[in-house]
Amino acid sequence: MPASNSLMLDIDPDVSTLPRIVDERYSVTDRNTIANTTSISIVVFSYMTLTTAAKDIVSKINHFKTLKENWDSYGALPTSADAINEAISFVRMADRNLLPFYFTAPGPNGELVIEFRRGHKEAAAYFNPDNTTELILSENNQTILEGSVEENYKDLLQFINA
């Protein structure tokens, strides 16, 4: 029996302030499931309960908003607001898919990276100021795959969570 909204949520979230609940670029879920109201409620519940690791990553990413030009003394640019927003949406999606967050850092050109690690497998998802993304999967320091996050999200899940 499907759970009702009232059973799943003990508070009534302000949906207008939530990010896109289902980001089609990264989604690997069947659309029929997404269309089901009950399933969407579960997603909302998932958003409300980010894991500690995901919360920590989001907190660090939000801190990047405070960086001024030349924050690294090599002339680095402040982190792009677009890159930050995209990355935070991605963290929510990745957390739902149980990806093991390891590290995040701002780059010298306004981009940022979110890294995952499981054993000798590593993945780095880059969010660029021009709204492009890059994904690098590597194992034992050998690059396995290079591409965009959007086009290779399923590969990321299979690689890290396998």
Q: How far is the CB of 6 from another protein (least distance, A)?
A: 41
Residue at token pair 């590597």: 138
Q: Is 95 in the site for another protein (CB under 8 A)?
A: no
Interface pattern 105-134 for another protein (x via CB under 8 A): xxxxx---x-x--------x-x-------x
Which residue, 19 or 75, is less far from another protein as judged by CB?
75
Distance CA 32, CA 39 (A): 10
Torsion of the alpha carbons at 53, 30, 151 and 95, rounded to the nearest 10: 0
What 3-state class would DSSP assign to 87?
helix
What 3-state class would DSSP assign to 103?
strand
Which residue, 50 or 136, is less far from another protein as judged by CB?
136
Among 24, 72, 139, 151, binds another protein (CB under 8 A): 72
Distance CA 21, CA 15 (A): 9
Distances (CA, A) of 36 to 4, 33, 59: 12, 5, 31
Q: Is 76 in the site for another protein (CB under 8 A)?
A: yes
Q: Is 21 in the site for another protein (CB under 8 A)?
A: no
Which residue, 49 or 62, is less far from another protein as judged by CB?
62
Q: Is 141 in the site for another protein (CB under 8 A)?
A: yes
Distance CA 27, CA 52 (A): 22
The site for another protein (CB under 8 A) is made up of 60, 63-64, 67, 71-77, 102-103, 105-109, 113, 115, 124, 126, 134, 136, 138, 141, 143, 146
